[in-house]
A = this chain, B = another copy of it.
Amino acid sequence: MAVQSVACEQKLDQECINCLRGLAIDMVSQAKSGHPGMPLGMAPAAHVLFSRVMRFSPTHADWPARDRFVLSNGHGCALVYSMLHLCGYRISMDELKNFRQLGSITPGHPENVDTEGIEVTTGPLGQGLSNAVGMAIAQAQTAATYNRPGHQIVDGTIFVFCGDGCLQEGITSEAASLAGHLQLKDLVVVYDDNRITIDGSTALSFSEDVPARFRAYGWHTLTVNSGDSDLEAIEAALREAKRSDRPTLISLKTTIGYGSPVADTAAAHGAPLKDDQLRATKQSLGLNPDEFFAVPERVREFYKRVHDCGDALAAEWRASFGAYGQAFPAEAAQFRRIFDHRRLAEGWDAKMPKYTPDMAAEATRSVGGKVLNAIAEYLPEMVGGSADLTPSNKTQLKCSFDFASGKEAGRYIRFGVREHAMFAIGNGISAYGMIPYTATFLNFLTYGWGAVRLAALSKFRHIFYMTHDSIGLGEDGPTHQPIEVLPLIRATPNLGLFRPADGAETVGAFRAFLPRADRPVVLCLSRQNLPQLEGSSEEGVAKGAYILRQTCQGEPDVVLIASGSEVSLAVDSAKELEQSSISVRVVSCPSSDLFLEQPLAYRRAVLTERAPVISVEAASVAGWAAMSHFQIGMRSFGKSAKAKDLLSHFGFTPENVVAQTKKFLTDLQTRASELDLPPRGVLGVLQCLRE
């Protein structure tokens, strides 16, 4: 706790706080855009937290045992950028001046990818707090796994700032309820209780008793009434929270826009102060209104001491980690592999199951469960769970047990029916340095899309493990059957999609995506049994799409491209079409995004330019026009019925695929003569086969 020793006198503290306030409002004014209210109100808490309580080292920003800070109300980031700058993270004064400008590392809401010291991307409300729950789980799991008597190498705390908006979002309720259940003691949330939201007073829409609600979840709660001024009370609350054996919520009463003419009103929230307001604010804070981006020397020196102190702490830790390595070399090596090198263990895929065409049909959700278990032994950093669908998702880990209060080394998480928080918690676990998998039915991916898209934006390795991936799930009906979800995933940048056709492809999917640390994937698995296919290939999966079957030489008459459960349908249809002397190539496309990353020559070799391409997928046809000339798919919601009846009703039978294919080929000839073009001229070149 050497940070405590940084000598502080009250006046200097106040100077630091007002310097932070001045920087933040100058940033917003310079950008002519942003949120001055929160930094003016929360600067005291930020100052106390960073200078007296939190353990971090700007020189070693990713020191694994650091305390972590999450700004859940991300719009207040001018405060954090200013703080990170003063503490010596790689954020220059020019970057502060470039707040919210193109190419800066100080974007309008904090983004983890480009900005050192930003643990997670926030802005969409509630995400940060839920990420922090994930970090606190990862922290507890890591501590329980690696700490040894006399060697407390992991004991960080996760600190969060959040506002009213975060607490109104449902994701926060989910995450907080789970955090209370799990008694995550390393989680401290500071609630900026300023009684104002964008629309005006919280009296308009938010009159609940927040601390009582959190106590109902099992949290410890504290209140600091003088959050604008009483640094000792803030510090005392933070310290008590850190000591608590439960997650703690500190309700900090503050004044939004403190010191400004619009203090305590919604006007302070989300628009720059006008020039006269800016002057008046600085005057009321004792700052020179003619100076901009001013940092008094004493303030700079103060934070330099905070910086040095943090570096000393990190060095101290490195030394104690060295001693740990002497005593526990295997554990230390594993710890470094995971948290320093972020590499998979050698031979992680050694026990993968092998699938051959002679083996019995099996649901890919079942294959997935076997694969998870085969690799989990080698990858202790893999932790995950299901949103109360464990028996259906088949995600339980045999090599471990449930993560629970008092059993924190457990790697299986019972998330409850809390999809959105589950995904955000997974993001937090990933941010901490581990590999999360989070499971539910594919259709409920969109219950937590806010977190899924942030995983993609944040480049988190995170396995969204989705079963029951089509109308093939049967009787649960259209409320449970995904239609629009696959197009959504495909339209999202940096989000992988794998929908394997059988056992071999499922294994191949894991081999393809797991080594990539820079993006999340959605793994789509079937509820129903799927046959092991002749020609399916792990290597093929790695290229996203490949020729699974073709009996004729050279160019076929038609290409059927399919994914997942529809690949076997395409194969069966091909066999029938061949009876009518139509030669067919079947392309399996477990991962369209990976296929589109392949060289043009490969893409052209798979989806020949010479033949019509027909896609078959039991999901919305939207998006397939770039990769096929005709689509067999869903154009409505599903229905409740037996899977077999549904597949037949919606045309996923060899009979229908054969009939549609023949009709398409005939229509093509007709249309070609109408338009006076060769048939391939009617079809044109697929967009995915262009330069």
Contacts and interface: CB of A to CB of B under 8 A. Distances in A.
A108 interface: yes
Nearest to A644: B102
Given A447-B124, A491-B620, A217 B206 contact: no
A685 B675 contact: yes
B107 A640 contact: yes
A181 B169 contact: no
Contacts of A677: 677-678, 680-681
A386 interface: yes
23 contacts: A33-B474, A101-B642, A104-B640, A111-B640, A124-B480, A168-B174, A168-B388, A177-B208, A181-B207, A199-B386, A207-B218, A213-B213, A213-B216, A446-B449, A453-B484, A457-B478, A487-B490, A487-B491, A487-B623, A488-B491, A491-B623, A493-B635, A683-B685
A174 B488 CA distance: 25
A684 B683 contact: yes
Interface string A110-136: 010000000001111100000000000
Name, among A125, A475, A645, A677, the residue most crowded by chain B CB atoms within 10 Å (CB to CB).
Answer: A475
A651 interface: no
B177 A168 contact: yes
A487 B484 CA distance: 9
B493 A637 contact: yes
A181 B205 contact: yes
B169 A174 contact: yes
Name, among A390, A620, A636, A641, the residue most crowded by chain B CB atoms within 10 Å (CB to CB).
Answer: A641
Interface stretch (A242-250, A415-423, A430-438, A565-573): A415-423
Contacts of A391: 198-199, 266
A682 interface: yes
Given A108-B640, A678-B681, 13 more contacts: A107-B477, A109-B640, A124-B480, A180-B208, A204-B414, A212-B216, A447-B449, A454-B479, A487-B488, A493-B637, A622-B622, A623-B623, A667-B691
Contacts of A173: 170, 173-174
A170 B181 contact: no
A111 to B, nearest CB: 7
A608 interface: no
B417 A165 contact: yes
Given A168-B417, A177-B206, A100 B641 contact: yes
A92 interface: no
Name, among A125, A388, A391, the residue most crowded by chain B CB atoms within 10 Å (CB to CB).
Answer: A388
A319 to B, nearest CB: 39
A389 B197 CA distance: 9
B492 A483 contact: yes
A477 B123 contact: yes
Contacts of A641: 100-103
Contact of A123 (B217, B476, B684): B476
A34 to B, nearest CB: 7
A402 to B, nearest CB: 7
A329 B386 CA distance: 57
A107 B205 CA distance: 37
B204 A402 contact: yes
A479 B121 contact: yes
A622 B476 contact: no
B477 A415 contact: no
A509 interface: no
A625 interface: yes
Contacts of A107: 477-478, 639-640
Nearest to A122: B479
A209 interface: yes
A600 to B, nearest CB: 12
Nearest to A106: B640
A637 to B, nearest CB: 5
Contacts of A169: 170, 174, 417-419, 447
B33 A637 contact: no
Interface in A416-472: 416-421, 443-444, 446-447, 449-450, 453-454, 456-457
Contact of A109 (B449, B479, B483): B479
Contacts of A625: 623, 625-626, 687
A206 B416 contact: yes
A34 B169 CA distance: 32
Contacts of A402: 204
Contact of A487 (B622, B639, B684, B687): B622
Given A101-B641, A484-B453, A197 B491 contact: no
Nearest to A207: B181
A577 interface: no
A671 interface: yes
Given A102-B646, A493-B483, A684-B683, A389 B198 contact: yes
B449 A684 contact: no
A368 interface: no
Contacts of A389: 198-199
Contact of A215 (B212, B421, B637): B212
A386 B204 CA distance: 12
A178 interface: yes
A388 B199 contact: yes
A649 interface: yes
